[in-house]
Each structure stands twice: as C-alpha cells, then as structure tokens.
Amino acid sequence: MSKINEIQKAILELDGGSYQKLLDMYLFERYSYDNIQPRGMQLGTNKPVKGIPDSFVAHSDGEYSLIMYGTVQAQSFKKMKEDILKCLDVKQTGISIEYIKEIICCFTSTNLSPGEHKELISLFTVVKLIGIGELATDLCLKYQYIAKTMLGIALDTDQILPVSEFIRRHYESPISTELSRELIGRDKDLDFILSQLNTNDVVLIKGQSGIGKTNFALRIVEMFAEKNNYILKCILSNGLSIYEDISVHFKDTNDTIILIDDANALMHLPHIIRLTTDSARKSKTKIVLTVRDYASVIVENEIGKFAIPYVYKLSELEKDDIKRILSSRFQINSIDLVNKILNIAAGNIRIAIMAGEAYKRKEYNKIDNAIDIYKMYYLDFVNKMNDIDLKVATIIALYKVIQIKENHIGYELASLCGISENDFKEGCYKLHKQEIVDIYQDLAVNFSNESLGNYLMYYSIYESKEVPIEEIISISFPKHKERLIYMFNTVAQLFPTQENINYMCNVTKDIWNSKYKDSELQAEFMKSFQGLIPLEGLQYIKNSISKLSKEKINLVDYNFSNVNNNDIKSDLINMLGIYKHSGYLKESAELLLQHLDYINEDNLVVHAYQREDYDSKRETAQDIFLFIKNSWTIDQNSHKNDYINEIELIDFLWNLFEVNEDLNVGTILIWLCEIYLQFKFSHVESDGNKGIIFSEFGLLSTNNLLSLRKNCIVILGNLYSNMSLKSQVFKTLLKYKPILNESGTNKDIIISDFKEFNTIIDNVILGLEFDECVIYYHYFTEANRVNEDTDKLRKFEKNQLFIIYLILSMSYHDGYFTSKDIGYDDFEIFKREKIRELINQNDNSVFTKMIAFMQSKNNAEINWEFSGGVRYLLEELKLKNIILSLDFYKQILYIVNDGYNSSYIVSSIENQLGFEKALEFFDNPSIPNSQMLKTKLILYSQSHKKQEKLIETLDYEPKEIKYIVSINELFEICHDNTKIIQEYVDKLDSLSKKNPNFIKEFLRPLQVEGDELDRFFVEINSGHDNKKFQRIFLFAIIHDGNFDYKNRILSFILEKDDEFLGEYVDLALKNNISDMFGKLSVIWSMQNYIKLADCIFERISAADKKEKIFLSFGKYNSFLIDSDSCNSWILSYIDTNNNQINLMRLLFNLLSSLNSDRRKLFILKYLSLNKDFNHFNQIYLLPMSKSWSGSEVPIIEEEIDFIKFIRDSLDGIDYIEHRVYLEGIIDSKNKYLKKVLYEEYLEHL
C-alpha cells in the first residue's frame, strides 16, 4: 500500500471529533492562521456537536474564514451545498455576508464531478474545496508531522518541521527556554543578517551557548520568508539520519528557506547544503544555521564541502539588554536581584531567563549560581531516573556515542558501576523511548542533548560521585582522552566552584603520581591534563629539557620574517603555552630560555625522515619564535587582565637583559615589542574537536596598555644602541603601522606611541646617517597618515643622499613630494622634472657616491620605482651629453636588475663603448647577471657581429643562465644563418637536460602568436636530425603539462608528421602523463580525426600491463571530449568491434569515467549489437575510481540511478541475465550506501 493510500485509509477510520481536530491542525499550518476556533465539538473531548460553522478564523481586519468539515463518511454533493449555504445564513452564523472572507469546505467523497465542483465554488466569492485526495497528498508531502501526530503514520524521521511545531518542541525540551518573538538588543544584528541573506545562500550564526542564537535565527527566517514569499521549514535534530527526508520535504516547486538549529548535531548536514548548489533545481533555497562556538569550525568544514557560508558571530547581549528582558518578561526590577542574575548568567541569556522563570515560581533563594539554576531545571528530571538509567545516561553523555553491538569501552565503565552489558543495552533503549538519547539503526547510541548531558556528567561524577572519576580516567585514557578533556572543560566552564576545581586537580594529581609519572604514557598524559596540574607540568618540562642534547642556539643568527605557518614541532615548547595567564609566567619564561641551550630532539621524530638540509638548531629556534608569536601575543584574556601579564613578561626579560646583555633575551624582547605594538591581532586555537577557531580583535585603551607600549618603545630605543641587535631593531621599527579605527578608540594609543617615538628619536637615534633617515621618514609618513605632528621627524631632509634616494624611488601618490590628487601621467612628468633639478643642482660625483652607497646598503628598498628613477637619471644625463664611468654603470647594475630598466642600461653602455667592448665589459665575472646582460646586448644590438657571439651566451653553468632567447628572437638575430640556428638549438637541447625550463622558454612564443611556425619547423629540422623540432617539443610537454596550453604547436605537428602521434602516445603511457592525453582532444577538430583516434586507441591497447595500470583511474580518457566527432567515432568503433571483448573491455574502461548520459548512450548501443551476457558482464559500467569532497553518498546514489536506467532500458528474454546481474549490482550498492551512511554518522559524532 502506498503511503497516500495508507493516510486516506487512516483518515476514514477516524471518529468525527478526531477528524475535525486533524483538519483544524492541517488548515492552521496550510494557511498560516494565527488562530482557529473550533465550534463543532465538546471542549476537551473528541465528541462532535452541531454548530455552524464547524470552526472559524477571526482575522485582524474584522473578516472571518468559515470552515465546514462535514462528516468522515463520504458527503453527497447536496450535503456540501447545504453546508456552504448555511454559512451564508446570518441567523446561523451571527455575522452578515460582508464580513465573510472565505468559506472552506472539506470532504471525503471521491465522486464529485467537475460540474458539481464548479457549482459549489460559485455559491460565494471565495469557496475553497479540500478533498481527501488533496489532504492525504499534503500530509504525505508537506505536513508529515501531522500525519504522525494525528494518524500515527511515520513518513520521515520527524526532524523537518513547520515553525509552530518547531517552537512547541523547543519549549517542551527539558533544557530549553521559551522562544520569544521579541528580540531586545538585536536590531542591528537583525538588519545586517537579513541583508546578507540577499546575497548569500547559506548563513551560519555562531556564538556561545545560551546567548539566544535560536530565537534570533528564527526571527530572521520568519521575516525573510514573509518578505520574499519563501516556504519556511525548520530542522530540529533528533540524532537520526535526515538523508531520506530530504527528497520528501524539499520538492523543486517553491523557494524555500530552512532553519537548522544546532547544526553540529544534524546527521548528514552536507546533503541539506547541496540544495543550495544543485544547478538542476529551478527553485531557490536559503539556509540559516546555528551552532555553538566550539563546533563552528566543524560545521563550516561540513558546509564548505558544497557551499561557502557567510559566518556571523552573534555576540553576548549587553547587560542593559538583559536588564530590559528581565524587566519586560519577568517584571524583575530590583537592582540587587538583577545584578545577582547578571553575575550568574555571565552574558548567557538562557541562564538569565531560567533565573527569571525561577523568580516567577517564587524560588528566590535558588538564584545563587549556575548550578542552582541547572538544578531547578534538571534535578526533578534526574530524580525520576532510577540508578541504572542515570548511570547509563551519564556514560553515554561522557563518550557522546557508543556502538551498541561492538565492544565499546562504555561497557567496561558500566561494569565497574555494577551494570551488566545486557542491562546497559536495555537502558539505552529505555532512554531512547524517553527521547533522552538517540539510537541509529540499532547500531549506535548518542547523546545529542548537550546541555542535559553536561549536567548529568556534573551530577553523577562530581556531585553524587555515582560514576567514579578515577575509574573513568583509568579506562578512558589515552584512547578517549578527548572526551576526558571535554568533561573537565565542561565542569570548569559551567560549574566552576572551587570544590569542583579542587576535586579535578586532586584526582588528576593522584593519578599522575600513582600511574603515569614514570610510565611510557607520561608525555601524553601531561599534554592532556597539564592545565589541572600546572606545577607538575613545569617539573616535567624542566626534566625533559635537561635530557635533550646540549647545544647553544643563537637566535640572532636566524630570520623568521617569512615563516607563515604556526606549526610548533616541539611538544615541550608547546606545553609552555598554557602558563601565560596561570601565575607561572616567569617560570615558563625561564624554561623557554633554558631550552635555548638544548636542541629539539623530538623534532627528528616528527619528521618521517630527516632531510639532508635539516637543521635541528634552526628548527628549535623557529619553534621558539612561533611560540612567542602565538602564545605570548595579545589575546582575548589580555584586556580582561588589563595587560598585567604582558607587562610582567616584558619587565622580567628586560631585567634579565640588563644583567648580562644576553642576545637571545634581546632578540625575544624585539619579537615581543613588535607584537605588542600592533593594532590588530588574530588568534588561532584548537576547538577541542580536531578543528581550529580563528578570531580577530583590536585594542581598547587603558593606562596599563599605554604603559606596556611605552615600555616596548623605550626598550627598542635602548636595544638600538646594541650593535649586535641594531639591525633587528631597525627592521622592527619600520614595521610600526598605526591604524585609525572607525570608533576612534585607537587615537589615544597612537598619540601615546608617537610621544614615545619622538622621545627616542630625540635622545637615542641622534644621527643623520642613511639608516636613521629611513626611520625618520617611515615615522614621518605614518604620522602624516594618521594626522599626527611631524615636525620632529623631518631630520631626514638634512641628508642629501637620502633625498636623492627619495626622489629616485618616488612612487605614485607618494604623499611627500606630490599631491594625492595628481594624475599618473602628471606624476611621471613631475618625477622627471625633480630628477632634472637634481642634475642641475649637483655634479656627477654626488650620484656616483649615492649609487655606490646604495650598493653597500641593505636597508634601502630597491624596488621598481627606484629602478625607474635610475633610468630617468641616465636618460637626463645622456641629454646633457655627460659621459659616465664604467664603474658607475657597474654599480648601477648591482642594484638595478629588472629586465626593462637593465635593457636600457645595456644599450647605454653599448652606445658608449661599442658592441665588442661592451661584450667584454659584460663578460667580466664581477658583473652581476653577466649572462643575461650579454644576451640582451646581442638581442638589441644592431652590430653585424652579434650572430657569431650568440652561442657564447650559453657557455655558462645552467644555474648562471638567466635569459634564453626565444625561437622568434633566435630567427630575428640569425636571419637565415641555419648553421648558428642549428648550433644554438643543439646546445640549448643539451643544457635542458639540467634545466627543462630552457626549452619551454625557447618555444614559449609559439603557443600564442605568429604565422612563422612552418618556417621554424622546416629550418630546425633541416639538419642531420629531421625530428629535432618534434623532439624538443616533446621534451617541453613532458616537463610541463600546461605547456602549449592552446595546443597550437601540437595541432601543427600532427598535421605535418604522420608518425608523431604514435610516439606521443607511447611517451605519455611510458611516463604516465595524463595531461598529454588531455591535449589530444585537439584531434576532434581535425579532418582526419578517425585515423588519429584509431591510432591513439591502437597504441593504448598495445601498451603493456604496467603502462595500462592507470587506465582504471580515468587518467587516459581526457581526450574523449563530448563532441559530435568524438561521439561519432566511439559509436562507430563499437559498431565495428562489438564482438571483440578485449577491445570492448578496454574501450569501456576508458569510457567508464565519462558523464552518465554519454555512458548510457554507448552501453545501450553496445547492448543493441551484442546480447552475449558473458561479454556484457566483463565491460565496465561504472567508474573504476572516484573522488569526492564531503560525503560519498551522492556518488553512490548516482551509480544506483545509472544502473537502474540501464536495467529499465532492457526488454525481452535476451536480456534476462543482464537484468538479474544489474539487480545484483543495485542491491550491493544499496547495502554499501547504508554502510556509508552509518560510517558518516559515526564520523560526525
């Protein structure tokens, strides 16, 4: 029986009262009424009574909807007509016709004719007729929860709900607060997210537990649905797979917005997300999800498999907003009581509302702390549970998920608590019936109700101590250490009494001393629970460091400015990170400094193999750098603690440095000062569940923060005087970048910073050397940018060489020399004029001195603007007929090495010296980039002698060759000198064995330009090797699959050389280069494509087994594109060779990873020609390899649908065996699908 038939049968079996209640609920949901008044039954019973109408809806505009249900038994047309007319009788309804908005008449009869239907709807302006067929269909497809509630028919897993049912279930939950339509303090958040939904299909709202995410998200989706005419569905997880519900609920008929509450609890979330990206769907789908902070990264990763979510962090409500809620909803206005609730809630609106509801119940004395509030909600619930059920629930909550039919550690803990395996299983099913836990397909049980689970862990483990914590740790570590850490963190965050904290610490200390201190698991135990035994942790780290190989590390020897990762390889260094806010900061700093005398031996273990260039000292130094960058930075707790720990750390290290000027301490101080003088901070930390949380935050000005930054600036000034650290300090000073934020809160910080910078500029950086001027100019530009005083920072203007440098390196919108409004063309003119002024005001010796100085300096930026400025300088000097010395040119070439500007310098030197002497000049090994300059000289020179010198440009070691002339340039230089062309190509071919890029650069222009390809082909092949061009092309292709990206060269060669394709395919097979096959798609646009395709397939079929190994992975079929000529060839090949099973097996192996429509075409063509089942069961129907992101389920579904299509396309007795065979594949795939769904369920949990 179909589900619709089952629903119709169940409706007809209802008594009259139940029938009317069913229809009341149905109409309430279907038409989104905000009220419905039943008149046709006795209150509180299912007994029908007479009344006209049976029910009615009073609308806000004063109109009414009148509803007649008739009887469950089939009504006659006459009876339905009478019911409608009675609704129009003012004597029976009590209202006149003008107040009637519509009449709804429901019926179970199935013999109403179109004529009768037309007559009925003509009786009044708006008559809606709803028959049993329409009702049953809607209950099946749209309102499944009504079918379950009123008829007892389960059509889905009961997780996809209308708003009213979502709110009802949320309120009935023992751990939830009422969802209020009133949103206080969220107006800006609301407007912002509504605007984001216009451009984003998926919005993820994350935040701490209890801050009102669900209520906020519900209001969002309601407003969006109403404004944009979207259907609204809510999803409330019950721990079951939602996979099969999707196709039932989300038909492609209406635009839909979906609310998914607690998205991390939903099984198979990616399958819902796919609705937003499915290009086959015509309707639009928007999804709003809520998730707690700790699980946001997991959910973002799940969503990211199919879509890019807009992630919005919902912040805690301000205290004033919580006060307004307490006042408006609970009439709590007592300042003392409000403040007490605020302290308990700590920003958690759920706990605040729990406290408010306790106040309504006059339980005033219970409002003392979060434990009391949790007790108010859960203690009665817990007290009703028997001892076994309570322990079973606690064990499930502790481990989150337990596989029922496997030997899970939860059974061992249950046994220690006096519960047998059978009793534990029975307890699981009992708790499942009570909807406390969820059981998935009798395979696994999980505790999805996190808040209740948290309280059960607290109650059973910490309060009643029915489940002994010592036994939990003993049997759960190390395999389930993540859940142990979760248990400790939960109690510390939600129930942080000193008694609980002491209990955790004492138990952990006892277990450490008695069991793990001297065991092989000591390191893993300490890493897991170090936060509970911090002093023992320091002792462990100290002892472990002393066992490392002693070798002094000097931090000044290393530069980590380009290190972008945060991967600290040393566990010991990582473990020091918890001590910044612990009260043991100084001790941890001392241990970090002690580690500088030892190298990280554990780094060698991290690497699967030790690289030849592995430097353990550098790795240790890098670990320390990353530790300081990540663990000693400004974090979220810094402002809460008013930067006391940062000040303490800086002062401690500075006092150490003053004692003996230890350069390692000085380097760490420089790193810290750079960090603490920033304005924006990012922080990455583990979320405790294999994910990370990334956050960004700024600063709030306090006296302590200003003091910290002042200390940093003073320390940098003092360290600048230390010659060994001066260079580091210099670079750090140039990294200062003040940020003026919109709120203006950074202004006080910037004013304070510049006051201190001006002080050290006045008292420490006293000189006018170039480096000092670089610092002055940096702070001048930064001060100018944030509108700070620049008078004391203009010292750089007194250094002539620095001013020349500024003019030469002047950039567009420079801000010092030019106005910000100047156009680019005017800027170029202006810069030339400034350089012209320099020449007029100075003699050549000044420029010579400046260039020589620049050559010796590393602190001045040599960029494109500076190189361009030097070129302008040379051009202006040339206009004045000034002869420059070769030493001057040589110095310029040391600092100007970009191709464009160096080409001009090369031409200038040739003009001054002539070709041969210029060549000698560039041949000097002391000239930087000698090979490139020589090549450019030959390339751009007009000398008739340049051809014979071209080969010399390759007389270098490969690593010294920086410039290769392209094939176009070669022919331009050599004209028709075939001898030199041949010689150059031969030498280049030889050098390419060590550097394949040489040939690629040589042939590069042929990919896109020119009509001389034929000339080049003939000329290069005119010597003793008539396949040279093809050979060097193959060499380039082998080393770079993207070379010849338009396949221009390949097409040309295929037309010129009949033998080339076979060599090409053989080479691709031998070297396993799949990209080479992709390029062969070019054959389908050629006239002789049949011959070429036959050749490719012949070569593949002739390859040995080793070369064919990758056929099954779809690596060699990329040339089989979806084009008319390709498909025609495949069909023709099948037509000719369908009885040759070896060829067909190979062909369908290649075809197996093509799109399903093409495979259907080719398989059915083959079956129409060859009905031999023994042949059919040898060909490949499905891809032999597959890859996916996220869930494998969609791929399995596609495979099942594909096989079903082939099966259903076969008729007649000739295909009976085929269909049986295909049925077997379908059954196997369905079993595998269930297995994958279960595995994904477990993986999610």
CA distances (Å), 940 to each of 937, 950, 951, 962, in order? 6, 12, 16, 17
Average pLDDT over residues 822-844: 85
What pLDDT was estimated at residue 363? Answer: 72
Nearest-angstrom CA–CA distance, 117 and 238: 43
- Give the tens place of pLDDT for each residue, 912-954: 899 999 999 988 878 888 889 999 999 999 988 888 899 988 8
Structural domain ending residue among the three candidates 117, 151, 185: 151
pLDDT band at 541; cut points 50, 70, 90: very high
Cβ–Cβ under 8 Å, residues 572 and 620: no
Q: Between 45 and 92, where is the model more confident?
A: 92
The region of weakest confidence among 247-261, 367-381, 924-938, 1178-1192 is: 367-381
The β-bridge relationship of strands 37-38 and 285-292 is unpaired
Q: What is the DSSP string of 449-468?
A: -HHHHHHHHIIIIIIS--S-
Q: Flag whether pLDDT at 359 surpasses 70.
A: yes
Query: Cα Rg for the chain, rounded, in angstroms?
Result: 40
Give the tens place of pLDDT for each residue, 844-874. 778 877 777 776 655 566 778 888 888 888 8
Residues 932 and 871 in one domain: no
Measured distance CA(1022)–CA(1024) in Å, rounded: 7
Q: Please report which confidence band the pLDDT of residue 1137 belongs to, taking 50, 70 and 90 as the band edges.
A: very high
In this structure, what token pair is assigned to residue 526?
């300490």
In the predicted structure, residue 1172 carries a pLDDT above the cut 90: yes
Measured from the Cβ of residue 51, the count of other Cβ atoms closer than 10 Å reads 14
Classify residue 31 by its DSSP letter.
Answer: T
Average pLDDT over residues 441-462: 82
Note the pLDDT of residue 592: 95
Q: Are residues 392 and 346 in the same domain?
A: no
Best CA proximity match to 1241, nearest among 269, 158, 260: 269
Q: What percent of the chain has pLDDT over 70?
A: 90
Residue 1234 has pLDDT above 80, yes or no: yes
CA pair distance 536, 1034, nearest whole angstrom: 65
- Residue 1041 is given by DSSP the state T
Here the CATH number for the domain that contains residue 258 is 3.40.50.300
Per the domain annotation, does 1221 fall within a domain?
A: yes
157, pLDDT greater than 80: no
Q: 523 versus 404: which is more confidently predicted?
A: 523
Average pLDDT, whole number, for the chain?
A: 85
HSE, side-chain direction, 13 A CA sphere, residue 1243: 14
1017 within domain boundaries: no
Residue 1220 falls inside a structural domain: yes
* pLDDT higher than 80, residue 57: yes
User: Over the stretch 1102-1114, which tens digit does the pLDDT of each residue have?
Assistant: 886 655 555 545 5
* Cis peptide preceding 738, ω within 30 of 0: no
Strands ordered across the beta sheet of 256-261: 160-161, 231-236, 256-261, 285-292, 202-207, 310-313
Give the pLDDT of residue 603: 46
Q: Is residue 269 located within the same domain as residue 244?
A: yes
- pLDDT bin (cut points 50, 70, 90) of residue 688 is very low
Mean local confidence (pLDDT), 672-689: 75
236 vs 176: CA distance, rounded Å: 13
Encoded amino acid at 88, one letter: L
Which is it for the CA torsion 1160, 1166, 1168, 1172, positive or negative? negative
Whether residue 1110 is contained in a domain is answered as: no
Note the pLDDT of residue 176. 57
Average the pLDDT over 406-429 and give the result. 89
Letter string b/e over residues 76-90, b meaning 16 or more CB atoms within 10 A of that residue's CB:
ebeebbebbebbeee
Same domain? 464 vs 490: yes
pLDDT at residue 40 tops 70: no
What is the pLDDT, as a whole number, of residue 370?
66
* Residue scoring higher pLDDT (589 or 1012): 589
Tell whether 827 is covered by a domain: yes
Phi-psi region for residue 1134, left (φ > 0), alpha (ψ -120 to 50) or beta?
Answer: alpha
119 and 18 in a single domain? The answer is: yes
Q: How far is CA 679 from CA 694, 698, 788, in A?
A: 17, 6, 17
- Would 453 be classed as within a structural domain? yes
pLDDT of residue 1227: 93
Residues 244 and 292 in one domain: yes
Query: In the predicted model, is pLDDT for residue 514 greater than 90?
Result: yes
Q: What pTM value is reported for the model?
A: 0.65
More confident residue, 362 or 836: 836
Lowest mean pLDDT among 353-357, 365-369, 978-982, 1206-1210: 365-369
pLDDT at 607: 43
Q: Are 309 and 300 in contact (CB under 8 A)?
A: yes
133 and 7 fall within a common domain: yes
Q: Where does the pLDDT of residue 364 fall: very low under 50, low under 70, confident under 90, or very high at 90 and above?
A: low
Nearest to 427 by CA among 409, 441, 412, 439: 439
Q: What per-residue confidence (pLDDT) applies to 915? A: 92
Residues 309 and 321 in one domain: no
Q: Does residue 534 have a cis peptide bond before it, meaning omega lies within 30 degrees of 0?
A: no
185 and 303 assigned to the same domain: yes
Tell me the range of 159-168, 778-787, 1131-1140 where mean pLDDT is highest. 1131-1140
Residue 654 pLDDT more than 90? yes
- In the block, residue with structure tokens 């059974």: 411
Q: What is the pLDDT at residue 42?
A: 55
Q: Are residues 177 and 305 in the same domain?
A: yes
Backbone angles phi and psi of 128, in degrees to 5: -110, 125
Residue that the structure tokens 């910490």 belong to: 462
Task: Taking residues 227-231, report their average pLDDT.
Answer: 91
Average pLDDT over residues 796-815: 84
Q: What's the pLDDT score for residue 608?
A: 38
From 608-622, 988-1002, 1211-1225, the region with the lowest mean pLDDT: 608-622
Is the distance from CB of 110 to CB of 132 less than 8 angstroms? yes
Return d(Cα 451, Cα 490) in angstroms, integer. 10
When mean pLDDT is compared across 488-497, 942-951, 1148-1157, the lowest value belongs to 488-497
pLDDT at 212: 81
- Give the CATH number of the domain where residue 410 resides: 1.10.10
199-227 tens-digit pLDDT: 999 999 988 666 788 889 999 999 999 99
Asked if residues 290 and 214 have their Cβ atoms less than 8 Å apart, the reply is yes
Residue 596 φ/ψ, nearest 5 degrees: -70, -10
The pLDDT score that the predictor gives to residue 1105 is 61
Say which range, 351-365, 404-418, 1165-1179, has the weakest mean pLDDT. Answer: 351-365
Give the mean model confidence (pLDDT) for residues 93-112: 89
Let me know whether 866 and 923 are in one domain. no
Contact 978, 1021 (CB under 8 A): no
Residues 359 and 227 grouped into a single domain: no
Q: Which residue would you say has higher pLDDT here, 586 or 38?
A: 586
Last residue of a domain, one of 94, 118, 151: 151
What does the pLDDT average to over 407-431? 89
Flag whether pLDDT at 46 surpasses 70: no
- Residue 309 in any domain: the answer is yes
Residue 697, domain member (yes or no): no
CA distance 1244 to 622: 35
pLDDT classification of 41: cutoffs 50, 70, 90: low
Of 504, 537, 568, the residue at which a domain comes to its end is 504
pLDDT at 260 over 70: yes
CA dihedral 139, 141, 144, 148 (to 10 degrees): 60
DSSP, collapsed to helix, strand or coil, labels residue 68 as strand
Q: How far apart are CA 815 and CA 821, in angstroms?
A: 10
The number of distinct structural domains making up the chain is 7
* pLDDT exceeds 90 at position 887: no
Rounded-to-integer distance, Cα 598 and Cα 550, Å: 4
Q: pLDDT grade, residue 811 (50/70/90)?
A: confident
Q: Which domain holds residue 32?
A: 3-151
Q: Averaging pLDDT over each range in 245-254, 363-372, 998-1007, which range is the top one?
A: 998-1007
